[in-house]
Every structure is written in C-alpha cells, then in structure tokens.
Amino acid sequence: MATAPVFEKKNILVTGGAGFIGSFLCEKLLADARVICVDNFVTSEESNIDHLLKNSDFEFIRHDFTTPFDPEAFPELGRFRVKFQGIQEIYHLACPTSPKKFDQYRMQTLLSNSLATKNALDLAVRYRAKLLFGSASVVYGPRPADAHAYKEDEFGIVNALSPRACYDEGKRYAETMCETYHQVHGIDTKIARIFRTYGPRMPLFDGQMIPDFITDALDNKELAIYGDETFTTSLVYVSDVVDGMTKLMSAPVGIGPVNIGSDQDFPIVDVAQRIIEMTGSTARIKFEPPLLFMTPLGVPDITKAKDKLGWLPLVQLDEGLKRTIDYTIAHKAQVGFKLS
C-alpha cells in the first residue's frame, strides 16, 4: 500500500483540482499536506484556485490527464521532492461536467473516464499511492420508478449506447478499472459515488440550475428549470462532499463504493422558490425542455457512509443556499453578472 512520506507532510495529487469540487478539496487538504493540482480548464476556472497559488505547499500544473503525467519532469515541483518523497494519495476528479456543453465535450468526457483514469491508476502503482476515484450517481442509471434510495450493492441499469453513455457508462467503466487495479496490483483504490452537489464556485450560465437560479433571482430575471414541476433531486453542499471524500480516503482497504450525497429529495421548483424568497426577488419561474446532462436522478441510501465513515451531510439546504447566495453577491464582478 501507500508508503509513508519521507518528510513531515504527504504529497497529494488532485486531478480536476481547479474544478468546483476539486478546488474545495485542495483547500481542505492544504491544512496538513502538500497538494499538486492538475487541470486543463475544460470546464473549470483558474479563479477557483487563485487564492491558493501563494501557498508554498500548493502547486498548479496545467495538463490534460488523458496524456501520461510524470510529476518528476516538472521543475516547479522540485520543492515537493517527488523523486524521494513520492506521492501518498491521488484524488482523481478530472472529468468535464457541463450540462449545456455536454455534446461539445463528449470525447473529452469519454477519454477522461478511460485514459485519464488509467494514467491516474498507473501513477498510483508507480508510487504505491492510495487513489480515490470521483464517480457519480449516474452509475445506478435513471431515477427508479418506485423512487427508492440506491444502495451501493445495486448494479444499476445504464444504456451503453445512449447519447450520454460517455459519462454514465464511462463512470461505470472507470470504477471497473479501479477495482481491477486493486485486484491485480494490490493498490488501495476507493470509489466515491457523488450525488448532485451545489455551492460556491459552480460555473454560471451552464445549465447547473442552482447558480443560475441565484444570479437570475438577484437580477429579477426568470428562473429556468430544465424539466417540469415533477423534477426532484438530491442536493448536497460541497463542503460535506469534500469531508466525505477525505474520510473515505482514510477508510480501511476494501471498503468498496460509498455513496456521498443527501438522502433528502427536493422538488427543484421549491428550491427555486426558496432562492427567490431568500434574495427578495420579484423573479418568476419558467420551465424549459430538459437538458441531456441535467435530468432527474436517484437519491442515495447513505447508511454505509454513516456506519463505516461516521459521515453524514451537515449543511442544511437553507444554510447552503445562503452561503452560495452570499458568495455570489460578494463575487458578483468575478462571476460575471450585474445586480439590477
């Protein structure tokens, strides 16, 4: 398994580290580790990590992980002493997540779930590092007819030839790769099945709904729901997801996949209305045709996370929305909108 660090702090690699979830993860890990953040900015933003760049324990490398990555070849990583220190943990989160640009990034999505995962796992083998893969609730398939909460031992049903299979089936294949590398090479691989997440730093005007709800409400514009009144969803705040992933990374070998999400099912129209109320907006709600990447998904059974990790989501919806609204107002120039 992962060798102990030579020096006082672990070296941790985060692929997709400039993304929405990845940037919060990097921030948390810097409390007691050195962090190598790798991203190619396909659907992430440099602004997400600007505040981390002055930290001597943080280094950003712009790189497409679908091509092999050798950390020892980058002079800027010299202070991390990777050749001697190695890498102790890898969080593999790199994958485009853009509802409105899903078609544009299909090939990048396909290769992120296959080649990028292989390259991350090969690094884990090289350094005997632990690896956590950021999977998703899509591995279970669409929302079940009886709306039951998905447990980790359910196999799910996914159409491998559907227009969105590069993401849904891609995540399933990546999970298979992680388990196969564990079986063949003996490395400690973890699988976090992450459910719909929200919070600050989500990309705007991209169909993600929650950030767009907030900006439109603040501008008194119509809030667009990509679906109808029956659209319900699980929503978990980003800090809870990061906490769940770090707890999973520290879990014993062989724990298997773990659901990280909220087991509450929220009507999205109620969420939109709550944002209107919290912002004092005069905006109205409108319904738009569904987006391929933004569809109703199942809700997680989080019993395993509670029992095995001592984890459960702590941030209630109203508090999470308030934090996200406050962030949006404070960064209104940076996120690119004007208050009415």
Residue pair 196/234 in contact (Cβ under 8 Å)? The answer is yes
What amino acid occupies position 75?
P
**pLDDT (0 to 100) of residue 5:** 58
- Quick one: pLDDT at residue 333? 56
Domains and CATH numbers, the chain: 10-197+236-260 (3.40.50.720), 202-233+264-296+316-334 (3.90.25.10)
pLDDT along the chain (340 residues), means of 10: 66 97 98 97 92 97 97 96 96 89 91 97 98 97 90 92 93 98 98 96 82 94 91 95 98 97 95 97 93 79 98 97 93 55
Active-site residue (options: 91, 105, 140, 167): 167
User: How confident is the model at residue 6, as a pLDDT?
Assistant: 61
How far is it between the farthest Cα atoms of the chain?
Answer: 60
Q: What is the 3-state secondary structure (H, E, C) of the chain?
A: CCCCCCCCCEEEEEECCCCHHHHHHHHHHCCCEEEEEEECCCCCCHHHCHHHCCCCCEEEEECCCCCCCCHHHCHHHHHHCHHHHCCCEEEECCCCCCCCCCCCCHHHHHHHHHHHHHHHHHHHHHHCCEEEEEEEHHHHCCCCCCCCCECCCCCCCCCCCCCCHHHHHHHHHHHHHHHHHHHHHCCCEEEEEECCEECCCCCCCCCCCHHHHHHHHHCCCCEEEECCCCCEECCEEHHHHHHHHHHHHCCCCCCCCEEECCCCCEEHHHHHHHHHHHHCCCCCEEEECCECCECCCCCECCHHHHHHHCCCCCCCHHHHHHHHHHHHHHCHHHHCCCCC
Q: Is 327 a catalytic residue?
A: no
